Amino acid sequence: MKKLFITLTLVLVLPVLSNGWGFFAHKTIAQVAVYALPKTMQAFYFRHLDEIVKKSVAPDERREADPAEAPRHFIDIDHFGDDPFGAMPKAWDEATAKYTADTLRKYGTVPWTVLEVKEKLTEAFRQRDTTAIIALSADLCHYIADAHVPLHTTVNYDGQLSGQTGMHSLWESKLPERHIAKYKLDSKPAKYIKDPQAAIWAVVQESYGFLGATFDLEEVVTRNFTPETKYTFSHRYGKTRRSYSDAFADAYHDKVGGMVAYRLKQAPTAVASMWLTAWQDAGRPDLNALMSRKPGKEEKARLAAELKLWDKNELVPQNMLLAMQKEKTVERADEINSADQTPTTAPAEAAPAPTVVPAPEPASMPVAPKKVKTKVKTEAGNAKQKAKAKAKKADDGW
């Protein structure tokens, strides 16, 4: 009974604790990133698709056990003044010389974490170390994905400084989970990145540019709601938890859904491009030689079929999005483990099955992504954000 209780507790608590994109979005990004790879890398990554998808949330799972893990997922860049991107040196050594490593770790290190993991992945490719390549590819996928989330670039990461507490999981979990069927997951193919440092900082800066709209539009939508309709309350283990209602989430999604979809589609390209860059920097090792058995007809056909579904944006309606099919993920992972002699991993985590609102028009986006560039932030939003940034940070645990 006690065991059951612990299991149930984990089931209920995990989604609340998950930060960065929710598990659902992280897994989706990992899967699409594999589809965005060039042919020379794709067969290898496809062989390990289930494992990479599963491990794409491992960095979030590590946070509980490792206090040093949390700051690797974000950078509260607005802590560093009115022109933070001008003030912050992009290279770690120069940044620590200016602000100290302790301060940087306090306010988050995601861009440097991405570069550090990219270097480790390059080394794993050089060593032809399959286990490390998979684990580090999944880690890299996670951190790059987190850098795409606007709320990972501010001290007001949960709206807690502006009376908008709960925005973090609303934006990164509830919105994509409820509306994934409307998104066009047509990420662009991977490309070699000449300057990974500049590239990841550009991602962070673009995320930051979305913050003004993220906060302002929540206020706009709030005008049509009462506190009773805006929130739902759940009572569990003697605690009351307030979260945004489904109705509010859907109304908010009408305003910012294009932004969420845009980030969700950009992240896999950035991930696949960084994988490709690490592989190329390692001298383009033959990944097919790392596979214990060559891909057979069936495996090739499966990849071709999935690529076709992806191309037609039918992964969701055809139930081929791994983030939405827990049991199949476990089954296929086991098959791969036995083939490659890797140790059996823990069962799939207990993230709840996402609630998907089916949409007849998968490509429809409430906000045109092309217009949603770095400068979405309004003047008012900008000023407010700065004011928020000055407020005391209550909790550093993201």
Beta carbon nearer to Zn ion, 173 or 187: 173
Quick one: which segment of 50-58, 132-140, 143-151, 315-323 binds Zn ion (CB under 5 A)?
143-151
Binding flag, residue 281, Zn ion (CB under 5 A): no
Binding flag, residue 146, Zn ion (CB under 5 A): yes
Beta carbon nearer to Zn ion, 73 or 118: 73
Rounded-to-integer distance, Cα 266 and Cα 159, Å:
24
Binding flag, residue 78, Zn ion (CB under 5 A): no
Measured over the CA atoms of residue 134, residue 138, residue 140 and residue 144, the dihedral's sign is positive
Quick one: which segment of 70-78, 279-287, 321-329, 353-361 binds Zn ion (CB under 5 A)?
70-78
Cβ at position 308, least distance to Zn ion in Å: 31
Closest CB to Zn ion belongs to which residue?
A: 20
Beta carbon nearer to Zn ion, 20 or 258: 20
CA distances from 45 to 30, 50, 247, 269, 298 (A): 10, 9, 39, 15, 16
Beta carbon nearer to Zn ion, 73 or 384: 73
Rounded-to-integer distance, Cα 272 and Cα 158, Å:
29
Rounded-to-integer distance, Cα 272 and Cα 42, Å:
10
Cβ at position 280, least distance to Zn ion in Å: 26
Cβ at position 152, least distance to Zn ion in Å: 8
CA 324 centroid distance within chain: 16
Cβ at position 274, least distance to Zn ion in Å: 16
Binding flag, residue 384, Zn ion (CB under 5 A): no
Rounded-to-integer distance, Cα 60 and Cα 100, Å:
25
Binding flag, residue 73, Zn ion (CB under 5 A): yes
- The structure tokens 């390209």 sit at 269
Beta carbon nearer to Zn ion, 73 or 253: 73
Residue 248 near residue 167 (C-beta atoms within 8 A): no
Quick one: which segment of 48-56, 66-74, 187-195, 231-239 binds Zn ion (CB under 5 A)?
66-74
Angle of the 211-222 helix axis to the 379-390 helix axis, nearest 10: 100
- Binding Zn ion (rule: CB under 5 A), the pick from 14, 15, 20, 281 is 20
Characterize 69-106 residue by residue with b for buried, 16 or more Cβ atoms within 10 angstroms of its Cβ, and e for exposed. Answer: ebbbbbbbbbbbeeebeeebebebeebbeebeeeebbe
Cβ at position 155, least distance to Zn ion in Å: 17
Beta carbon nearer to Zn ion, 147 or 321: 147
Cβ at position 273, least distance to Zn ion in Å: 19
The number of residues making up the chain comes to 398
Q: How many residues bind Zn ion (CB under 5 A)?
A: 4
Two tokens, residue 297: 């007809």
User: In 185-240, which ranges are continuous DSSP H helix?
Assistant: 196-209, 211-222, 227-230
Beta carbon nearer to Zn ion, 60 or 306: 60
Residues in touch with Zn ion (CB under 5 A): 20, 60, 73, 146
